[in-house]
Amino acid sequence: MELVTCDEYAKSRGLSLVTIRRYCREGIVPYLRIGKVYRLDPPLVDEALAQVMRENMEYRSNGIKRSRKRRKNFDFEAALKAL
């Protein structure tokens, strides 16, 4: 287990340093704090971020779970009248 700093991790993954630090503060990614420096285990952080991405993609912004099925024969006129 080789630990890296947030800066090293962000550069290696093409992410923003600020984003990685925020994820640490919010507890989204696992980290070890040594003094003032966050240390990360890259495979664990990759796994945590992948899980967060899966969860975010599963729900719409309004909290309704996404459906993988396409609607067939959708009646746009009826939908507009309902508004």
Q: For the chain, what is the radius of gyration of the CA atoms? A: 20
The domain over range 4-64 is classified in CATH as 3.90.930: no
**pLDDT one-digit tens code per residue, 22-57:** 999 988 899 999 998 999 999 999 999 888 877 766
pTM of the model: 0.64
Sign of CA dihedral 66, 46, 13, 31: positive
Three-state SS at 39: strand
